[in-house]
Amino acid sequence: MNQEKLMKRRMIRAIVLLIITFIALLVFIGLYVDETRRVQETYRKQYKTSLNGVVESMTSYLDNDGDHDLRYARILSDMSSANSFAFLIDSLSDDQKKTINELHACIMKYPEQMSERFEETRTAINDIIADTDKGYEEAAAVVDSVDKQGN
């Protein structure tokens, strides 16, 4: 009889411990999901901030404000930052990430050709910032228009 009561107590204690552990696991999962969402939101903000920097520098470049080499270096720097953040954002498709990467590569490798295409590039980036899919299509069109064999 005593043995039976002892076993019941241990079983109840084990069940209570299991329930507490399960609740703690659910809380941990909830906190993890919430933190992941916050981090993704921060990446998206930084991505758009970098793209805004690209647009501002392109506008300054096109308006002939100051040193073109400095303006182009700023464009490249902001585009590099946007490219890095693009690969951290889960909501972007692989094609969108590839387009941003190719646009960054073209700006880096073909400065003469890309400086001639800044109007179209700026329009595409503004559409990307506005969360329209056509922005990525426009950026891909700019990338496709670059002569990769040239300078």
Dihedral angle computed from the Cα positions of residues 34, 40, 44 and 45, in that order, rounded to the nearest 10 degrees: 50
SS3 64: coil
- Does residue 150 fall inside a structural domain? no
Domain housing 87 = 2-145
Long-range contact list for 59-68, CB < 8 A, 24+ apart?
A: 59/122, 61/115, 61/118, 62/118, 62/119, 62/122, 68/115
| 69 within a domain of the structure (yes/no) | yes
Give the residue-averaged pLDDT of 25-49. 95
pLDDT of residue 150: 57
* Residue 63 confidence (pLDDT): 87
User: What pLDDT was estimated at residue 116?
Assistant: 87
Q: What is the DSSP letter of 110?
A: -
Residue 151 lies in a domain: no
Number of domains within the chain: 1
Residue corresponding to tokens 């889960």: 90
Question: Does 119 reside within a domain?
Answer: yes
Please report which residue ranges of 63-117 form alpha helices under DSSP H.
Answer: 68-86, 94-109, 111-116
Considering the domain boundaries, does residue 135 fall inside one?
Answer: yes
Mean pLDDT, the chain, whole residue set: 91
**68 versus 17: which is more confidently predicted?**
17
* Tens-place pLDDT, residues 75-122: 999 999 999 999 999 999 999 999 999 999 999 999 888 888 899 999
Asked whether the predicted pLDDT for residue 149 surpasses 70, the reply is: yes
Q: What is the CATH number of the domain that holds 34?
A: 1.20.120
pTM of the model as a whole: 0.81
